[in-house]
Chains A and B, each alone.
Chain A
């Protein structure tokens, strides 16, 4: 079974502060991990995936297989980063994408 845990339902930081959204996963095979973002009144969209190892909008995420984590980080949060963030795992023969419960990030001015 595959499982994604996002322990923080809500996260509030001030503009310019570092932010880290936590994600832990459980999967017996070799997973693919993703972060999706849903801005207010917009559709859910892919933010980044671990295999591309790139920085998107200043966000990075490193897959740590030892800790089974894929935390999302940004050194200096901006107000426009306020959104709902979902960590997701793809695995299995049908490549099912399983989402965590999401973390609502609020960046205060």
Chain B
């Protein structure tokens, strides 16, 4: 059983398009995250939700909009994709107040 799963794993699209990445966790955690890993492998937090409530929102362009329909799901929608959005996006979950994150396999987004 996959603990944190993301779909799709690979996404290739044109500049200007809108795309979504979905994430689901079956660990019963109450906190979920989106991290971006750039071409230099630098991991940077984008968003964090706790029980469907946004608790961390880093300086991310407002073209990025997270949505948490319930505490087991955290989706990421990106509008008007730009070349610089090309990266691997990781979803993760944890129990709040711990730093032990469980990561998904990542979704590699390529914007042409």
Contacts and interface: CB of A to CB of B under 8 A. Distances in A.
Contacts of A45: 102-103
A49 interface: yes
A47 to B, nearest CB: 11
Nearest to B42: A101
Interface stretch (B20-28, B62-70, B90-98): B90-98
A6 to B, nearest CB: 10
B83 interface: no
Contacts of A101: 40-42
A102 B103 contact: no
Contacts of B41: 84, 101-102, 104
A84 B103 CA distance: 15
B52 to A, nearest CB: 15
A34 B98 CA distance: 11
A97 B101 contact: yes
Nearest to B31: A95
The size class of the interface chain B forms with chain A is 20 to 34
B97 A95 contact: yes
A89 to B, nearest CB: 8
Given A43-B103, A49-B99, A96 B45 contact: yes
Given A43-B105, A44-B90, A88 B99 contact: yes
Interface residues of A, number: 21
Contacts of A90: 98-99
B51 to A, nearest CB: 13
State the 9 A-B residue pairs at the shortest beta-carbon distance, nearest first: A90-B99, A99-B43, A44-B103, A43-B103, A101-B42, A43-B105, A94-B55, A102-B41, A97-B99
Given A36-B101, A43-B4, 12 more contacts: A44-B90, A44-B101, A45-B103, A46-B100, A46-B101, A49-B99, A90-B99, A94-B48, A94-B55, A95-B96, A96-B56, A97-B33
Interface of B: 4, 33, 35, 40-45, 48, 55-56, 90, 92, 96-106
